[in-house]
Amino acid sequence: MPHGSHRIADIALQAGLSEATVDRVLHGRAHVSDRARRAVEEAITELERQGTQLRLDGLTLVLDVVMQAPERFATAARRALEEEMRLIRAANVRARFTLRESGELPALVATLDAIGRGGHVSDGVLLKAPDHRDIAAAVDRLRERGIPVVTLVTDIQRCRRIAYVGLDNAAAGATAAFLVTQWLSGMAGAVLVALSNSAMVGEQQRRDAFAESMHGLDPRRELVTISDADGLDAGVGALVRELVRRRTDITAVYCIGGGNRAIAAELAAAGIAPMVHLGHDLDAENDELLRTGVLTAVLHHDLRIDMRRAGEQFLRFHRVLRGAPTTALATPVIVTAYNMPPALGPAL
């Protein structure tokens, strides 16, 4: 029975509910929880966004996207995936999203363990999460149940994920070190290194490569690290505010995770004007900060290409495409206000 342009079966699949529950929600019947109503509403909204890609025939793959990231990154990633889904012709691909900015590890593990259970179909999980043994074990349990996992932007080590897609984080960290040393050109002062979450292995790789390369290029330069505010402005701002009570010699910033606006604001409030401020990813916030001169440069990679490559690995796993799933690394691109992609804003 259709509801608007969507069948009850499609809504149920998207929401992870039974068709009977969806039918009760759509017809306003009794004995329906608020959670079920919200799930149906969200499913219809997602189907509307993904509707240009859906067809009534052919193979359908349902992917669960589980992501711990600041909203600005999650929004950009979601938009990139939905845009790429419209271009896939080998299969119908639908995505369900579980997005959180922060949270306790057991809740994230429980989310992963619940995927594909209770008769709900899942053909794969696209995952951005901390590198922790409990997450790795949850990934292994998914694989044992036939559900493949592709990690996005930050990897989960020592687990049975089928592929990693995203930035070559070591190359990005080394590139950042090269840029900092070139632009500082012998000036005195320390470099502030800001991580969102030290348990994200991608951020660890960027930091380690940055520190190693800085040691080789500018061995006397001191690095000062702040971490574990999940890239959220309030927490990042508090860490910087505490730091500048002790240190006023910050001459450069390498923001590995998020929170560039808060970092810049707190430094400015303390009368500190770094010569270099590097960030990652051209989300809406960093786009504005780059165009207004707050950021010197952004180490960028195209999320749409990441999503395209992730989709290919799931299609390979399910033998829709030839070949075995494989990791796909993206080369960092240095973007300044003078070479910004047209879709994000004009060059100065």
Residue type, 255: C
- Residue 347, pLDDT score: 43
Record the pTM: 0.80
Burial code of 199-221, b = ≥16 C-beta within 10 A, e = fewer? Answer: bbbbbbbbbebbeebbeeebeeb
What is residue 9's three-state secondary structure?
Answer: helix
Q: Find the helix or strand (DSSP H, E) in which 166 lies.
A: strand 163-167
Alpha helices in the chain (DSSP H): 8-15, 19-26, 34-50, 71-85, 105-114, 133-144, 169-184, 201-217, 233-243, 260-269, 284-291, 303-317
DSSP string, 260-321: HHHHHHHHHHTT---SEEEEE---HHHHHHHHTTS-SEEEE--HHHHHHHHHHHHHHHTTSS
C-alpha separations of 332 from 19, 184, 289 in Å = 45, 21, 19
* Letter string b/e over residues 123-162, b meaning 16 or more CB atoms within 10 A of that residue's CB: bbbbbbbbbbeebbebbbbbbeeebbbbbbbbbbeebebb
Beta partners for residue 63, in sequence order: 95, 124
pLDDT of residue 176: 98
Return per-residue pLDDT of the chain as tens, 348 residues.
345 556 676 666 666 666 777 667 666 666 667 666 776 666 666 666 555 444 444 678 899 999 998 888 888 898 898 888 877 777 788 889 999 988 889 999 999 999 998 777 899 999 999 999 999 999 999 999 999 999 999 999 999 999 999 999 999 999 999 999 999 988 999 999 999 998 999 999 999 999 999 999 999 999 999 999 888 899 999 999 999 999 999 999 999 998 999 999 999 999 999 999 999 998 889 999 999 999 999 999 999 999 999 999 999 999 988 899 999 999 999 999 999 887 554 444
**Which domains are seen in the chain, by residue range?**
1-51 (1.10.260), 53-167+303-331 (3.40.50.2300), 169-300 (3.40.50.2300)
pLDDT attached to residue 303? 92
Nearest of 211, 259, 255, 254 to residue 238 by alpha carbon:
259
pLDDT of amino acid 70: 86
Is the distance from CB of 129 to CB of 150 less than 8 angstroms? no
pLDDT value at residue 49: 58
Closest CA to 36 of 45, 27, 24: 24
The conformation of residue 155, written as its DSSP 8-state character, comes to -
pLDDT of residue 37: 74
